[in-house]
Amino acid sequence: MEFTAHAVQRCSQRGIRIQQVEWLVRYGIYTWNRGAQVFFFDRSGFQRLLLGLSVSERQLAEKARNSYVVMKGEQVLTVGHRQAVFCTSKPGSHHHRRVDWRHGQTRAA
């Protein structure tokens, strides 16, 4: 797994560690967005992660619970913290779609 300079900067700014990124990719699920994979935890994936962790690692995992990782191939493009609604189009675009992260459903803006 290779990190872009942008991803390293975002990890630093948002307090997301490389270990947390690895957990998201290994135990999380993903959706496709603009040709890239967006990894995040669903309930079952997060429970599978917690089974093999020590107490100190569980605290780190809890901090990663609402994080996401954007990857294209083997390259990490960016990381961040999820919100309930994630806008998949840029501001000013004519086509606005919103994806409800909890259910993966698309709804009109």
CA-CA-CA-CA torsion sign (9, 12, 15, 18): positive
Count CB neighbours of 20 within 10 A.
Answer: 19
pTM, entire model:
0.71
pLDDT recorded at residue 83: 74
Low-confidence ranges of the chain (pLDDT < 70): 84-109
CA-CA-CA-CA torsion sign (41, 46, 49, 53): positive
- Looking up tokens 């967005």 gives 33
Rounded CA-CA distance 95/59 in Å is: 40
